[in-house]
Structure 1
């Protein structure tokens, strides 16, 4: 006879009230953020983040390419390089959409993954969607060996964590990728466009297309939007994913709890 499960749902007076399980997820996300910032600046230890930085660059370039596809551009290639840089080559498209899509798209992907990190079922769906992204990236980057190695390794981690501890590890891995992606995107914008004022960037190209405001202004606007995505990902997770962790673990994949 199968075991009987009794679930007690936490009552929330307001959609923004935090359940104990959600509070634990937020604490883990904060620990991730602190650990990432520490590892970022410690010599040698920062190599731990290297593949995840490259993955964020990959999401950045993928966002350019996806915006290009949606605006009828022909995507010629995506390339990643060992110096944490990347390039997307396309013909056509709408520059007003494809240029900001890199920074903002990768931030949005990170925010979505953070929200999904609150729920095991959502994390599984997110991992499948990310897998589709990986296949598309491999097609566009088929001549770039580094991209192939990175994507295959990351796909292997997603598959591995799916089967570890009833997919609990997958939820926390999705949460980590989301936090990493948002933090890297925010820092990349701030470092390149607000602090260093690089001569050539997506923002400088966007400023030339628009014809008003310097690149730093657009960079600052994109920075605020990226931070808003970060906060929004946490708020969406709190409001939407309220199922207790015990119920998530007892449910089958994609079953709706009753």
Structure 2
């Protein structure tokens, strides 16, 4: 008889097949877990609740309204801009002498010392970072309550630095008054829309103001122009870079808000009733 060479191969193939089946059966639960994780990760960034849909729609409306009314005095956002300069000056060894707000000329922070490489871009980038955090908190009532408390501290610091400027005082007091009033309306549900509006305004401030000053009108005196004089490059270049960073901050705030707060309006209201409840 001629030798048969298929037998060993066939035996090996059957053995491998049985081993493969056993491995699939053993790995089945782990594969299922990985699949569930993948589904969960995708679901976290999916807009599912009505609250998220409404929030995104309101953000879009805010963007349009702010674009149309951009030339209306925006004192509160200027306050955030100057607060960015002031707080970074304090963190880098400087001292703030005063803050002044002007609806026509903008704001100015008088300070001594500090690291100008940080304090100069901190006006635009600081306000956009604050805006991104407020947008994130604006997706949830409880988070908006916490944000309003932090805002109160920031406002008090700005009020202290701007205590000799009556316009700064009036602006800050009005903002604090709105935050306090919104706490007592429908368990602070409108508060999150106020926080959201301030966040969108702050995030867009650096982008539109840089375009307005440096690209469209090419105003020579700006944080970007001073930064360019001291550290090289052009004011337009730094303005574009800061604008891109601001847009990234805003996008990150929206994505994080969608992922972190999938609750419905009713669920958010129930949570709000248990966190520093109001009438």
Q: Same fold by TM (over 0.5)?
A: yes
Structure-2 residue corresponding to 1:18: 47
Distance 1:253 1:65 in 2: 35
- Aligned counterparts of 1:80 and 1:253: Cα–Cα separation in 2: 38
| Correspondence for 2:63 | 33
Runs of 4+ residues over 4 Å off in structure 1 = none
Q: What is the aligned partner in structure 2 of residue 152 from structure 1? A: 173
Deviations 1:210-250 (A, max 9, x none): 1x211111011001111111111111111122233211101
- The reply to whether residue 221 of structure 1 matches residue 221 of structure 2 is no
**Cα displacement string for residues 150-201 of structure 1 (whole angstroms, at most 9, x for unaligned residues):** 1101110001111111111101111111112222221001111222221111
Closer/same/farther in 2, CA of residues 84 and 109 from structure 1, 3 Å limit: farther
2:70 is the alignment partner of 1:85 = no
- SS of residue paired to 2:228: helix
Q: What's the C-alpha RMSD, in Å, of the aligned pairs? A: 1.6
Q: How far apart are the structure 1 equivalents of 2:208 and 2:274? A: 35
Q: Number of matched residues?
A: 235
Say whether the 8 Å CA contact 2:95–2:111 is kept in structure 1. Answer: yes
Max radius of gyration: which structure? 2
Cα deviation, 1:113-152, whole Å, max 9, x if unaligned, reads: 1111000000000000000001100110011110000110
Other-structure match for 1:185 = 206
Note if 1:170 corresponds to 2:191. yes
| Structure 2 unmatched runs, 5+ | 1-39
For structure 1, the residue ranges without an aligned partner over 5 or more in a row are: 1-10
Q: Which residue of 2 aligns with 1:131?
A: 152
Other structure's SS at 1:19 match? coil
3-state secondary structure, aligned to 2:99: strand
